[in-house]
Amino acid sequence: MGNIVAIVGRPNVGKSTFFNRLTQTRQAIIHESSGVTRDRHYGKTDWNGVEFSIIDTGGYVSNSDDIFEDEIKKQVILAIEEADRIVFVVDVTTGVVDMDIEVSKVLRQSGKKTYLAVNKVDNNERRMDIHEFYNLGLESELYPISSINGSGTGELLDILVAEFEEKEQEEELDIPKFAVVGRPNVGKSSLINALIGVERNIVTNIAGTTRDSIHTRYQQFGHDFYLVDTAGLRKKGKVHENIEFYSAMRSIRSIENADVCMLMLDATLGIEAQDLSILQLIQSNGKGLVILVNKWDLIEKETNTLKEFTEKIKQRIAPFTNVPILYVSALTKQRVLKSLEEAIQVYQNRKQKVTTSKLNDFLLPIIENMPPPALKGKYVRIKYITMLPAVVPSFAFYCNLPQYVKDPYKRFLENKIRQQWNFEGVPIRIYMRKK
C-alpha cells in the first residue's frame, strides 16, 4: 500500500529541518485537512508524482545521558518496523561519532534499505569531508545534502522514489480491510480475539525483524474481510518514553493499509490527546472511522451517562462529528458484532459514488439560496459540481473564483452533502476548482 520513509539519526543533525523541507511544500498547496493540526512527526509528500509518507522518528529524546542512547535506539527500531525505506541523517561538521556507529549497527543488522544523507554540506570544503562516513559500513551511496538550503535533497529523492517499485493493487478489490487502532491497553487485542474467537497471544518481536501488519482473513456470520492487526503495540519498557508518540507512530502502517479504522477508547479515561492524534492520522489518510468505547461495563451509570459521554466525544472530535460511536465490552463481547456491522456500513459509505446529475440537482438550488459570501465586492459563482474518482469521497465545485471560498463555506457544503447522502464515518474532501 503506502510507501513509508523514516528519517533517523541522533539529535541536532537536522532531521526535522529535512522532514519539514519534504512536507511543507505539499502542505502549502493542499488544505484538505482544514481544522486538523498535523502531528509534526508524520507527513505525506510526493516527488515526481510518487506519493509517500514520511516519519520523523526524532520524536522525543530525554536528554539525560543514560537513557539517551536507549531512546535513539528505540526510535531506530521503530523506524525499521514501520517503514519501507530509511534515510539515516549524519552531520558532516562533527564527522562520525559513537552514536552514529550504534545506529548504523542496528540498521545493518536489520537489512532494511537505507540511504545515508550527510547533512550540512554547504560548501566544497565540506564536500571533501563526507568520505569518512563510508566507515559506517552501510551499503549506501553517500548523499551530501543541506537541509537548510535544500541542495542535494532533490538527487536523494530522485533515487528514493525511483526505487519504490510501483506496488500494484494486487489485493482482491472488494474485500474490506479493517484496522483496530488506539493507545496501548485500551483492549485492542481482546477485541480482535473476541472477533476471531481465537486467543492469539502476540509474541514479542525480536528487535529488527520486520513485521508488516498482519492481515487476518475473516469469514464468519456472512462477513468477509481482513483485519489489519497491529502486533507492534508492545508493552512499554521501564524508560519513561513518550507513549503518545510511539503509539501514534505504531498505528501509521495499519491505518494506511486499512479502509476503515476502529478507534478504541477507554471509557474509564475518556478521549485524550493521544486518541486525537491517532484520529488525525485516520482523517489525513481519508480512512473510514468507527469509534468504539471499550470497558463501558466498568462505568457507574446514571440516567444520561451515555448521552453525555457521546456529546463529550463529539465536542473533542469536531468538526468531523458524523461518526458512529459504539459502546462495547471486548471482555463480555457485548456489541462486538455490532461494531463489525458498523465498520462494514462505513466501508460501503466510503465506496459509494453520487452521480453528477443528482449532485447538481440537489446542491445548485441550495448554493443559489446561500451563495459563498462575497469577498472584496467579488461574487463567487459555483456553476457545476462533480464527484472525483478518488478513494476518499471528494467533490469538485467548479467556480469563477475558487480562492475566495473559505473553510466555513466548504463545511457548510459538506454538511449539506452529508444530510442528503450517508457518508457517516467517512471524511469528505471539498475542492474548489477554476471553471
pLDDT digit of tens for each residue in the chain (435 aa)?
568 899 998 888 888 888 888 877 444 333 333 333 344 577 788 888 788 888 887 655 555 555 567 777 888 888 888 888 999 999 999 999 988 998 899 999 888 899 999 999 988 889 888 899 999 989 888 999 998 888 899 999 998 888 775 543 444 457 888 999 888 778 887 887 777 665 444 333 333 223 344 566 767 667 778 877 554 444 444 444 566 666 677 788 888 889 999 999 998 888 888 888 889 889 988 999 999 999 888 877 766 688 888 999 999 998 889 999 999 988 888 888 899 899 999 999 999 999 999 999 999 999 999 999 988 889 999 999 999 998 899 999 999 999 999 999 999 999 999 999 999 999 999 999 987
Residue located via cell numbers 527500531: 77
> What pLDDT does 303 receive?
61
> What pLDDT does 202 receive?
39
Nearest Cα to Cα of residue 418 among 388, 390, 383, 393: 393
> What pLDDT does 369 receive?
95
Nearest Cα to Cα of residue 343 among 259, 280, 237: 259
> What pLDDT does 2 receive?
65
- Residue 366: enclosing H or E segment and its boundaries? helix 356-369
The stretches of 83-173 forming alpha helices (DSSP H) are: 98-110, 124-128, 153-162
For residue 166, give the 3-state DSSP assignment. Answer: coil
* Euclidean distance between CA atoms 101 and 95, whole angstroms: 11
> What pLDDT does 419 receive?
95
* Euclidean distance between CA atoms 282 and 386, whole angstroms: 25
Task: Tell me the residue length of the chain.
Answer: 435
DSSP-derived secondary structure letter, 133: G
Asked whether 294 and 265 are in contact (CB, 8 A), the reply is yes
Query: What value, to the nearest 5°, has the Cα angle with vertex 227 and ends 180 and 310?
Result: 30
From residue 217, how far is each of 175, 214, 231 by CA, in Å? Answer: 9, 10, 15
* Euclidean distance between CA atoms 111 and 80, whole angstroms: 9
Q: Say what the alpha-carbon torsion angle 328, 331, 334, 339 is, to the nearest 10 degrees.
A: 50
Across 189-337, the runs of DSSP E, i.e. the strands, are: 214-220, 223-229, 260-266, 288-294, 325-327
> What pLDDT does 221 receive?
62
Burial string for 186-199 (b: 16+ CB within 10 Å, else e) reads: bbbbbbbbbbeeee
